[in-house]
Chain A
């Protein structure tokens, strides 16, 4: 029997190995007679047995509602749920678990910040700074807010197809009217890794509140909210081995304390009168209704699993896949690659001159290769690049260079099919 430490050391050296892949039963299947090559991890990742088991164990042994029951099951469920909160705080190095609000995912986290913090802290004429590479979920909530209270959105530009933020122009954009700067850590289309600690530092110097979209980084790289120095940070469980429907919003304690509730209901109140309610303190103030208890438990198991592998090691492995994909795909004729050449995360967007992204993805699916084709919820970015859509390869720690080679081969065969 391997001890846990031995197993951890062993797995770290074997990211992508057949042994590690056994933790992910879903990967072992054929699609139309071909082994599944799952390279759509930026959309969602697969779940290891330990996460599935944690959820099952919870429902088989401890299922109950949290925070209000006196009986044994409710106490166990509450402990597990609050334990997951502590685990999440440790995972991103938040100084207190009160700074962890459970949400449905990144999207809900950003909506919460916009509606709860934004509505009371912004006034007409204020500006919200975003970047040109934001996912719709870090644009639309701010647009809704802008319509409601008359604030303006401004966008820090990217430099071009290499997909870097134009950092030389940051000062120009950090004007006096800017009150909040919301940015993605890793771009889900370009694979760009933004220097969020530096960006947050510059913004905070001017008293600007910062929001980091960590949807694409939380499961792929070390994450330390104190080192980043952000005020808010949001991510989704399902992009890091946990189930759908659970996510985390980190918020600095003093900001959360001063914010009004996001939704009203049970769980978040101290007492309710027919006309007046007093609310609990954060984070429960922001968790109206029965929460996704099993999801939080699954998220904790996912964080444990990821940390057994080691996030440094995962980051290295995933970035290696990204760079390798860039290298290998660039050798195809009639292909255009987007995003940085060297400093890139484990995903790659590309366009073929002669095959539309949708046709490509339909065709690769015939060979068991799961890619994404479309605008990736990045329409403003697509328009900026002068395109409608791209195809995207996105890897995770269970993927291998060999799978990238196979993907290149299949894409090349599709090119031949369409060129007739």
Chain B
């Protein structure tokens, strides 16, 4: 009944939204940021543990959200462990391009490629990108809450 919808809500996304990975507060986190989507009032908090070389050792999140933002946060936490600040920034740009215009190199994006379908649903791009904004803000050590606006 919902053919087009399956492009957006791929099995991986549904799975991660139902049982998000790394979904908890991190006690020893040294970087953290909140992401806020004013459209729906949803809020997620991202926790990072970064070593002295700015490499992510551990990452987790908590909060409420739609299936897209939850799955995006969950897959992000799985993708970022072991990445340097510079690598995360480069990945952010690629994810951003992918969810806004559908361009993706699935080899390189790995599981994150499931979000390519989001670009056909412009109203939902913000949901997918929200956790990524929060990661960048956390790495930069910005204290302020980031929003999708």
Contact = CB atoms under 8 A, between A and B. Distances in A.
Given A358-B124, A358-B127, A418-B67, A363 B40 contact: no
B121 A362 contact: yes
Interface string A23-39: 00000000010000000
Contacts of A362: 5, 8, 121, 123-124
Interface residues of B, number: 21
Nearest to A358: B66
A186 to B, nearest CB: 22
Contacts of A358: 39-40, 66, 68, 124, 127
B16 to A, nearest CB: 13
B40 A388 contact: yes
Q: In the complex, which of the residues B1, B4, B66 has the most CB atoms of chain A within 10 Å of its own CB atom?
A: B66
Nearest to B2: A417
Contacts, number: 57
A388 B2 CA distance: 26
A389 B1 contact: no
A389 B2 contact: no
B12 interface: no
A255 interface: no
Contact of A375 (B8, B41, B65): B41
A406 to B, nearest CB: 13
B40 to A, nearest CB: 5
B42 A413 contact: no
Interface of B: 1-2, 4-5, 8-9, 14, 39-43, 64-68, 121, 123-124, 127
23 contacts: A32-B4, A355-B67, A356-B40, A356-B65, A357-B66, A358-B39, A358-B68, A359-B67, A362-B5, A363-B2, A366-B5, A367-B2, A374-B39, A374-B40, A382-B41, A388-B42, A389-B41, A413-B2, A414-B2, A417-B1, A417-B2, A417-B5, A418-B9
Interface of A: 32, 355-359, 362-363, 366-367, 373-375, 379, 382, 388-389, 413-414, 417-418, 420
